Structure 1
Amino acid sequence: MRLTTKLLAATAMVSASAASAVELEVTHWWTSGGEAAAVAKFADAFNATDHTWVDGAIAGSGGTARPIIISRILGGDPMGATQLNHGRQAEELIEAGLLLDLTDVAEAEGWKDLVNPSSLLDACTLDGRIYCAPVNIHSWQWMWLSHDAFAKAGVDVPSNWDEFVAARDALEGADIIPLAMGQQGWQQSGAFGVMAVAIAGPDAWLAVNRDQDVDVAAGPDYAKVFQAAVDAREMAANSNVQDWNQATNLVITGQAGGQIMGDWAQGEFSVAESVAGEDYSCLPGLGVNQILDTGGDAFYFPLQDDPEVEAAQKELAALLLSPEVQVDFNLAKGSLPVRGDIDLSAANDCMQKGLEILASGGILPSGDMNQSADTSQQVEDLMAQFWSSDMSAEEAQEKYADIISRAD
């Protein structure tokens, strides 16, 4: 699969060397079973060209991988391409002139007409220039429920957060962990954000995360969120796992009733051959406010002093958004495509729910698009402290409001 004629014309300065085979190291943090199956779709497509995908998987979460990726770029040891989340994570690298400008690729391929919602491409844009290729829409706004667990507990599968909380005693009576939660700040912070959208509501979430409204962060709507977080902490007390995919496996195997986790969890269900609607259910917005935050992943391309490498980088950028690759990757990943013009009739029940919400316009920008990396890290640190202690809802809310008051 090669660049379109339009794109070759748009990159005439390097097209003479575009046919030269290049080995391109690609770094990412997709290492769970479902994630590895998904990223293999990208690798296979790129390897079908004259080039070679050299996989640079970094074990751990994005919080582990991002500092390594950024350190390499700043230290003069850049990879050919790297996954990051679209948002503000790469701002300083762009401002330092260390990332490849992809505007010519985007214009030749018509990304502005294809990428939906447009905020995804906006998040790749700085001063009118495009610096990344968005590849999927990932949303945190999901809860995953084990049918086996609730059947064993003798209660119906919940349809919303309140019903889930009400099922706690039945689940614990059947020796089932009510809520699976990995012991990492980013997971706990993500779950808190889901509860905030569901319980405080989208308007309150935007007031805090977009507008840095301290009064809302310290007010009664968010007080309900922090009380829900206390409930969640108690329900997850026996969830003694570290990684998110280990927590997902507790749900897949019926050892836990549910998990609040982004739609990337679907990749794990897929690898386990679990069937949506039969083996597990999904609740967008905890069944309360059915809305998606439109975060996700994008690929950035560190500048290289080599026209052949640059040509291969631009070829990969175009390939990542091509229709066939978008379908193959997102079906495997459990995410939604960034293109609004492709057929996903093969998507499972949960993906279809997400597509319907997306089509209805029920979307929010992700936290990464609103908060700086520093603010996000402070919230993660607070949540890690909260979940590993008996910190009260009131104390946690006070600390949270202070972070929002200083947000940049």
Structure 2
Amino acid sequence: MRYQFMTAALAVTTALPFAGPAAATDLEVTHWWTSGGEAAAVAEFAKAFDATGNHWVDGAIAGSGGTARPIMISRITGGDPMGATQFNHGRQAEELVQAGLMRDLTDLAARDKWAEIVQPKSLLDGCTLDGKIYCVPVNIHSWQWLWLSNAAFEKAGVPVPKNWNEYVAAAPALEKAGIIPLAVGGQPWQSSGAFDVLLTAVGGTDTFLKVYRDKDAEFAAGPEVAKVFKAADDARKMAKNTNVQDWNQATNLVISGKAGGQIMGDWAQGEFQVAGQTAGKDYTCLPGLGLNEVIATGGDAFYFPLLQDAEKSKAQEALAEALLDPKTQVAFNLKKGSLPVRGDIDLKAANDCMKKGLDILAKGSVMPWTDQLLSQDTQKQKEDLFSEFFAKPDMTVEEAQKRFADIVASAD
């Protein structure tokens, strides 16, 4: 459903101007980073903000973005805004901005030359509406990764796959060894995201863009996308015995060797690090499922609700600056498993998987992701479809593809 802002004004007037150094004050920051790796990463932001003399009041909301976003939006539209809140890059806060509920950061962005340091440019474009900047990009998260347990494949007596096709071929050996081939949790966004990764890897970047950027419903119903649905059918058969809900629970199945692998964004890397595992030794990462090495410029940004408290407004500016500080960018992204948005910092400490991502980024092999191309209404329809597809093996690929094409036809 679409969020309606019948009370857009909420006594909000013009944006408060940016002032000098922030006075010490508490600032509540809401986010959905609650797994082990995520908590370690967000602690770096809190530490950096507290170093300004202010205090980060943690407003973590357990579950996922799908659980947290409605709560965040309800608070903002209901007149109880937090000091800052996380959303994904793209259109998730679009209506809040249009309703005049979010702070304009254009002056701060110009003063600190964000346009020169934030890379790629599309990240800042995603924060821009009608020529004004409303958010601070903090990382680049890409969905296009396959995480594999080296121990699981050793137990099954087969080599660690180098691509999706080899992985599917190895599934019977994994099952024979009592290992779940593919871990996919029950949250709808996980199955939907896995399909989108397959759409890019199996179908190719052009196929992904024809479907989600061009919204070509006829193409979505055609033979190129049918190949992707065949791969998705393989995936749901491999995932049938996962029996966990949260994404990090599915990641932990890979970490423990109970599952062979997981299609998940690079935030999964934080969980491997917390577990003390080493990339290349304990686990293998395949960008683009080993078929199409490309990085989608998804990720996270912070928005700042418009407040009438002058001191909290100053603290918002201090937080915005801290989020893009070079040292903070390094510390946060190393623990989060994501890539920094600053193009001028050195990540010597990056592990093998992060280096793969940085190399792909350096080559310019980037693309937009669904959060940037689709409304939240369309995203929700897509999530509902693929949640059902993965949960119901009797749904045919033909039926699923037809429903998918219908969603694309009405996408906005």
* TM-score normalized by the length of structure 2: 0.95
Q: How far apart are residue 19 of structure 1 and its match? A: 4.1
Which of 280, 283, 287 aligns to 1:280? It is 283
8 Å Cα contact 1:14-1:307 kept in structure 2:
no
8 Å Cα contact 2:22-2:318 kept in structure 1:
no
Tell me the distance in 1 between the aligned counterparts of 2:22 and 2:42.
24
Q: 1:19 to 1:406 in 2, by over 3 A?
A: closer
Which of 258, 261, 284 aligns to 1:258? It is 261
Correspondence for 1:395: 399
Counterpart AA for 2:402: E
8 Å Cα contact 2:180-2:242 kept in structure 1:
yes
8 Å Cα contact 2:18-2:317 kept in structure 1:
no
Tell me the distance in 2 between the aligned counterparts of 1:13 and 1:191.
43
Tell me the distance in 2 between the aligned counterparts of 1:238 and 1:204.
30
Which of 391, 408, 411 aligns to 1:407? It is 411
Correspondence for 1:111: 114
Tell me the distance in 2 between the aligned counterparts of 1:14 and 1:27.
22
Q: How far apart are residue 129 of structure 1 and its match? A: 0.3
Runs of 4+ in 1 over 4 A off after TM superposition: 11-14
Aligned pair 1:25/2:28, yes or no?
A: yes
Which of 63, 78, 90 aligns to 1:75? It is 78
- 1:28-79 alpha-carbon deviations (Å, 9 max, x no partner): 0000000000000000111111100000000000000000000000000000
Residue correspondences, number: 397
Secondary structure of the structure 2 residue equivalent to 1:167:
helix
Aligned pair 1:357/2:357, yes or no?
A: no
Aligned pair 1:346/2:349, yes or no?
A: yes
Q: 1:314 to 1:192 in 2, by over 3 A?
A: same
Counterpart AA for 1:160: N
Correspondence for 1:382: 385
8 Å Cα contact 2:184-2:247 kept in structure 1:
yes
Which of 322, 326, 347 aligns to 1:323? It is 326
Correspondence for 1:267: 270
Aligned pair 1:89/2:92, yes or no?
A: yes
Q: How far apart are residue 279 of structure 1 and its match? A: 0.2
Tell me the distance in 1 between the aligned counterparts of 2:135 and 2:16.
20
Secondary structure of the structure 2 residue equivalent to 1:27:
strand
Counterpart AA for 2:404: Y
Correspondence for 2:152: 149
8 Å Cα contact 2:22-2:317 kept in structure 1:
no
Q: How far apart are residue 15 of structure 1 and its match? A: 2.9
Tell me the distance in 1 between the aligned counterparts of 2:51 and 2:23.
14
Correspondence for 1:15: 19
Tell me the distance in 1 between the aligned counterparts of 2:152 and 2:23.
54
Secondary structure of the structure 2 residue equivalent to 1:278:
coil
**Unpaired segments ≥5 residues, structure 1:** 1-10
Q: How does 1:292-311 map to 2 (within 5 A)?
A: 292-311=295-314
**345-354 or 18-27, which deviates more:** 18-27
Q: 1:67 to 1:19 in 2, by over 3 A?
A: closer
8 Å Cα contact 1:24-1:309 kept in structure 2:
yes
Q: How far apart are residue 12 of structure 1 and its match? A: 11
Secondary structure of the structure 1 residue equivalent to 2:301:
strand
Which of 158, 161, 178 aligns to 2:164? It is 161
8 Å Cα contact 1:180-1:236 kept in structure 2:
yes
Which of 215, 231, 249 aligns to 2:218? It is 215
8 Å Cα contact 1:250-1:256 kept in structure 2:
yes
Q: How far apart are residue 308 of structure 1 and its match? A: 1.4
* TM-score normalized by the length of structure 1: 0.96
Q: How far apart are residue 122 of structure 1 and its match? A: 0.2
**Unpaired segments ≥5 residues, structure 2:** 1-14
Q: How far apart are residue 384 of structure 1 and its match? A: 0.8
Secondary structure of the structure 1 residue equivalent to 2:386:
helix
Secondary structure of the structure 1 residue equivalent to 2:86:
strand
